[in-house]
Amino acid sequence: HLPGTSEEMAPPIQQSFMIPKKEINMVSDMAKWKRSQAYADYMGFILTLNEGVRGKKLTCEYKVSEPIEKLVALLNTLDRWIDETPPVDQPSRFGNKAFRTWYAKLDQEAEKLVTTVIPKHLADAAPEVAVYLKESVGNSTRIDYGTGHEAAFAAFLCCLCKIGVLRVDDQMAIVFKVFNRYLEVMRKLQKTYRMEPAGSQGVWGLDDFQFLPFIWGSSQLIDHPHLEPRHFVDEKVVNENHKDFMFLECILFITEMKTGPFAEHSNQLWNISAVPSWSKVNQGLIRMYKAECLEKFPVIQHFKFGSLLPIQPVTS
C-alpha cells in the first residue's frame, strides 16, 4: 500500500533536518540510508506505483481527483515560467544562465505553490514538502539535472501520500497525469536551457536525465500482446505507440536529442532490447535503479531527510 494513505496515519509535521556535510561519511551514511524509514517508504512508493500501472496505457481511463488536478496546475505554472524566461545570449553552448532566473522564482514561490495543493489543516507540512519540489528541477549553480532531481520529485509525491493528500486510488493518475506532466516540463527545461546531465555515465548510463519512466514504462508493457522489448529500437513502432507508453516516449525523446546509431549513443538500452520479456526488463531496471541511483553516494548525498522521510532506521 502507499505509505500513509489515511489522515490517521499522517505523522505530525516537525521541523525538517538534513545531515550537515561535514558529518558525511560515505560508507556509514550509505548503510544508514539503506536501513532508513525514508529508503523503505521511497522504494515502497516506487514499487506500489510500478504495480499500479502494470499493463495499462497512458491513454486509458482512470480517476482524476482534485489534488491531482491541482498538481497538474502547479506543473503548468512551472511550464509557463519557462516561456516567460527565455534563454540569454552567452558564449557557452550549455547551461544557459536564464535557468537561474527561472529557478529563483521557484525558490521564492515553492511554499505558496505547495499550499495550493494541500488542505489548510495540513498547512504546517508545506515548508518541508516544498523542499522536495525545489530539489526536483535541477541544480541552479551547475545548471544540470539528473536522476537525483527526479528522485526528489518522487519523494515530493511520496510525502503528499504520507500526509494523506494523495490516496491509493490516485496511483494511476500519479504516474500518468502528474509524473508524465513533470517529465514534459523537465524535458522543456533541459532543451530550453541546455542543461547538463548530472552525474551521467555517458554511453554506459541508461539515460542522461531520467530513470523512473523506464521502470514504470516497462511495467505498462508487461504482457502486451504484440510489443516486445526488441521492438522499442524500431522507429516505426515508437512513432505509432509512444502516446500510449511512457517507455516509448522516453525512447522518442532520446532519438530527437541524439544523433548516430542507437546502439552507440544508448548502449545500455540497446542491450535491454535483447531481454526476452517486459517483466524481466522491469525487474532488471528496478535492480539497476537501486544499484546505480539509490546506492550511489554522489546521487544520494543530496537527498533531504525530515519528519516525513526520516533517516532513522525502519521500525516495522
Q: Are 116 and 74 in contact (CB under 8 A)?
A: yes
* Cα gap 230→274, rounded to integer Å: 6
pLDDT tens digits, 183-236:
999 999 999 999 999 876 554 568 889 999 999 999 999 999 999 999 999 999
pLDDT tens digits, 54-93:
999 999 999 999 999 999 999 999 999 999 999 999 988 8
CB burial of 56-74 (b: ≥16 within 10 Å; e: otherwise) equals bbbeeebeebebbebbbeb
The DSSP code sequence of 151-188 is HHHHHHHHHHHHTTSS-GGGHHHIIIIIIHHHHHHHHH
Count the Cβ atoms, other than its own, within 10 Å of residue 21: 7
Query: Mean pLDDT over residues 116-142, rounded?
Result: 96
- What pLDDT sits at residue 205? 67
Find residue 313's DSSP bridge partners.
36
Q: Are 71 and 132 in contact (CB under 8 A)?
A: no
- What pLDDT sits at residue 3? 46
Flag whether pLDDT at 124 surpasses 60. Answer: yes
pLDDT tens digits, 243-295:
999 999 999 999 998 888 988 888 899 999 999 999 999 999 999 999 989 98
Q: Are 56 and 217 in contact (CB under 8 A)?
A: no
Domains of the chain (ranges; CATH) run: 27-303 (1.20.120.1150)
More confidently predicted of 139 and 10: 139
Query: Mean pLDDT over residues 91-110, rounded?
Result: 95
pLDDT tens digits, 36-53:
999 999 999 999 999 999
pLDDT tens digits, 273-285:
999 999 999 999 9
- What pLDDT sits at residue 316? 64
